[in-house]
Structure 1
Amino acid sequence: MTGAEPGAGAGSGPGTAGGTRIRTRARTGPASRLAAAAQAVDTPGIVIAVSDRGRRTVHCGGSAPPPAVPRDRQRYEIGSASKTFTGLLLAELVRTGRLSYDEVAARYLAPGRAPEAARRNPATLRHLITHTAGLPALPADFYPQALRHWSTCPYGGYPAERVVAAFLRARPRHRPGSRWHYSNFGASVLGHTLAAATATPWEELITHHVLSPLGLTGTRLHPEGTGAGVTATGTIGPGTEGPGSDAPGHRPNGITPVPGLVMGGFQPAGAVRATPGDLLTYLEAHLDPSGSPLETALQSVLSPVLRRGLGHRHTHTLTWFQHPSPQGPLYFHAGATTGQQAFLGFRPATHTAVVAVATRRIRLRDTFVATAYALLSEDPG
């Protein structure tokens, strides 16, 4: 999983790939612009979906033959963009009064020795979701068991209990709240803390408090046929239920298939897989929270909470990266798994949202994120 910002690589910037400007804007209609954007990405399958003041335009493409289930009806792994769902869950639990952002996670994860555990690691729920808990990207003992399965299923052999145990052993690398370091470890610990604090499994929490209220019936938390999913009624059901089917992922060569990613104890950091339509519905709720069952929580995740980097140019909300633009701030999060990539972004000032998903993990000269970011940032005039 990755949550790197567009342009995070050396020599690149937002809207670029390997230093080359990606141009998607043309004096044509939205469908033509999406088609041009899709052609800029070399991948077996791609879906780019845009919501412009509630009007949706979707383009499907890719080098592989059209599948039996249309690409825009399939579910895609969104990797680290899943953290926005876990962050929204935290905001909703805080709204209901069940938790507060400044509670120390260790108190819930080690109730029998809470004072000692809290002294050892005083990271709060806010620190965990904002990547300021002083934790590494992954636990040190994660890598030995994951290397053998790195290109297929690195997370499946590391269960939730082991994530929690690693956190309780860890000492922060720096004082929580003082530095930013992107961490799948921290986001996963947050999910397990929410589960411990409410005595409810994370899957049930995310389904009841986020997926069901937003009507995300094409969203699941497991690969197809391997576990529970969200049924048409919004409840957790068998793995074969729910609309759509899982899109196949591929290795960087774009040919070798990759099995659906099993997240093990890292579900809260990267387990969500959803249809492009569901992802647009999710972003549209952020564009206009008023009247949503999650109105207050949605509004709270739009507020900046920290700045980092040279000159504090990088702004973050509770769950989203935020960049300025002449038409108002952009909010976005990218994600990648062993065989797929995703980009979610929206701009409230222009009432636009962009979802892009691809069935290949592109590691070199990645035009995917840059292309999707350019669509989001283009002048709507």
Structure 2
Amino acid sequence: EIISMTAKMLGSTYVKNENEEICGSISSGGTESILLAMKTYRDYYRDKKGITEPELVLPVTAHAAFLKACLYFGIKPVRIPIAEDGRVDVETVKRSCNSNTIVIVGSAPTFPHGIIDPIEELSEYARKRGIGFHTDACLGGFLLPWAKKLAYPVPEFDFKLPGVTSISADTHKYGYAAKGTSVVLYRGKELRRYQYFTTTEWPGGMYFSPTFAGSRPGALSAAAWATMLSMGENGYLEASSKILKAADTIKQGVQDIQDIHIIGEPLWNLAFASKTLNIYRVMDELSKKGWSLNGLHKPAAIHICLTLRQAQEGVAERFVDDMKEAVEEVKAHPDDKGDMAPVYGMAASIPDRTMVSELLEMYMDKIYEV
């Protein structure tokens, strides 16, 4: 029922060909949903077209889980740069596809900047070329459909588009379920079958599993199911409306701050950049005021992904006021290095990215120490 409800929300009713009936699986989270989809495309195109050196074409803003999938499954990532507005150029994507391309990825929206990729154009190109197209709606799958009903400018991104062959959507984000569940959907059972694992020769008996885990806690799926039923369409509409209104308040307020601009035209996941100030210093000042923002790089920026917590009365207005004060503080003390600003600046400026990766690995080793 979770799969069915999610599929209906993401355009399954527009699919009339019974061979393309929308189906899917429940995973442990967005990363697993993405890994499952990429493994599925690799195996499908190896079987159907004999592709042994598969390539994945994706914007640089696509989630890092796609790069993890490429590493795990022997897929070559072909990463496409974005413009200043956060959008990827469709023609560049087209030129980057070749006979080894198994799937193109578009985000709805991107995690860094909250921008919806040009999925309609990209998926139609993929359809004409016989290439898979995956919409990563892990972040927006449970908000964009309701934003559209609320008359916000949401471009098509789901199964209404005939070229979209799979979608990932997280129930634990704006579906409001507990962490530990996500949904991956496919256009047709034939494609989904390449996600499965089966073996008939194991002495322990016939073994099969639809996802990576051999077993998973049923309680998490039950909680997701109950949450979706409890929220219902009205609940999701109300929650989405509150979040989007809060985002509108922030976007309008930031327009009055000359040294700060928002990247592109996002709906609720807002990335702030500056051409005149060290944006990480602004983040430091906001941290002192109790705000926890993510630092981004390439380009340098910070972002806030709004939830119901920020949609409470007066919170968005307070954020705008605090942003103004933070900017003024940075301008008044231009030589102050701040707390985290040097760290972000150094990490972004080191030319040897292997060194940065090794530092991250050392950090993870430290986490595991008792």
TM-score (norm 2): 0.26
Structure showing greater radius of gyration is: 2
Hey, which of these two has a bigger chunk of helix by percent? 2
Q: Bigger relative contact order, structure 1 or 2, given CA contacts below 8 A and separation 6+?
A: 1
